[in-house]
Amino acid sequence: MPKETPGRVRRLRAAMAREGFDAIVAFKPQNSFYMSGFNPIIYSHPVVAILTPEGSDALLVHALRDDHAREASFIADIRLYGAWSTKKTMGPSWRAALKTILAERGIEKGRIGLDLDFISVARFREIEAELAGAEFADASDAIMQCRSVKDEDEIENARAAGEIADIGMDAAILALRKGGNEREISLASMAAMSHCWADRYPDKEVADFGNLEHGIQNGMFAWVLSGDRMFLNCDNPTTKTPQKGETAAILLWSVLDGIHTENERTVMIGDVSQEKRRALEAILEIRSEVFDMIRPGTLYSDLFNAAKTGLETRGYGSYIPGRIGHSMGLGAHEWPSIDAATNIPLAPGMILAIEPNIRIPGEVATQISDTVLVTDEGCEFLTKSEGGLLQA
């Protein structure tokens, strides 16, 4: 039985019509998944999703991905290239196969939208040479604008991913309070998230999106940075054990059927300096002020400016971050950022990670983040871990 095309694809068709595209041809793993429902995990050969305004879509994959693509994709027309066992293909070249697919639809010389924010110059030149006479335009913004508002199935996956993230955070804080080092805390968190997935969501996938050289079978990540290592922002956890007087940041991502959530907490180890405590208290207050503003119509920049004002009035005006959060979805850091320049209004169905912070080099670092869904009246917390002034 054919699978139903999601509403998000129908929205993207409407955007194509507005932009005058005869087709969108997507290579970016998140985009080809968005347009087809297929994530091969390892993208060792291009996966090409082809969307047309009237619905004559196609998915072009290497022959070794044939069975997986037919099992997962909601696109019925699946074409093969390359060579693999007894599979019958369109030939060795995905470029020639793409040209044939477009020619069958009479649009090989049409206006073709590409995700130019992703494909390399070399790949673009290959496409340009194969499709001589076509007009090419950047479809990246049209795709990302559609991706920014989630369908109900994506929202349900985000809720479940938030639940998994909360389990991971609880396990991490417990391991920290037991005296674990950064690596032990991270392992406890990732194990708890994986067990939650296996027990509660056996029919869901936690794969993330790979690239030409590797794949990510399990996208549930946790890392811990303590003391001065918090200023690194992102690094592999070490065997360092957080010490009394330090703060430790626990940062984690969870993913379910491609949709991500983010959960981050800063924990005080024993008694900390007044400067550290004051900064944490300030950030907790500013977060509350920002969350109160989240509703349809509020601009991304309004949220940033509220946090900026909150930092300035509390004496932290010299330490304004470049952004105070970002969108979430198929990317753990998805467009757009919550910064001063993004004058996009919030809309129901958007998912955001809210993370205002203070960084005073050598003295104080805070990192607290929750993932929320924009609703008709305000916001719904998708991560609900213990908050406030946390102590180990």
- The reported pLDDT for the residue numbered 1 is 61
Residue 339: the pLDDT is: 98
Task: Write the CA distances from 292 to 67, 298, 372, integer angstroms.
Answer: 48, 11, 12
* 207 alpha-carbon distance from chain centroid: 12
Structure tokens at 87: 């599979």
Residue boundaries of the structural domains of the chain? 7-147, 152-391
Q: How does DSSP assign 71-126, residue by residue?
A: HH-S-S-EEEES--TT---S-S-HHHHHHHHHHHTT-TTSEEEE-TTTS-HHHHHH
pLDDT for the residue 122:
96
pLDDT score for 296: 98
Q: Do domains 7-147 and 152-391 have the same CATH topology?
A: no
Which pTM was predicted?
A: 0.96
Residue-level pLDDT at 93:
97
**What Cα–Cα distance (Å) separates residue 385 from each residue in 96, 163, 264?**
51, 9, 9
Q: Chain-wide mean pLDDT for the chain? A: 97
**Which residue ranges in the chain fall short of pLDDT 70?**
1
DSSP output for 271-332: S--HHHHHHHHHHHHHHHHHHHH-STT-BHHHHHHHHHHHHHHTT-GGG--S-SEEE-SSSS
Lateral strand order in the sheet of 247-256: 221-226, 247-256, 259-268, 390-391
Domain 7-147 in CATH: superfamily?
A: Creatinase/prolidase N-terminal domain (3.40.350.10)
**Phi–psi pair at 247, nearest 5 degrees:** -115, 155
Tracing tokens 């030939």 back to the chain, one arrives at 91
Report d(CA 295, CA 146) in Å as an integer: 19
Q: What class has domain 152-391?
A: alpha beta
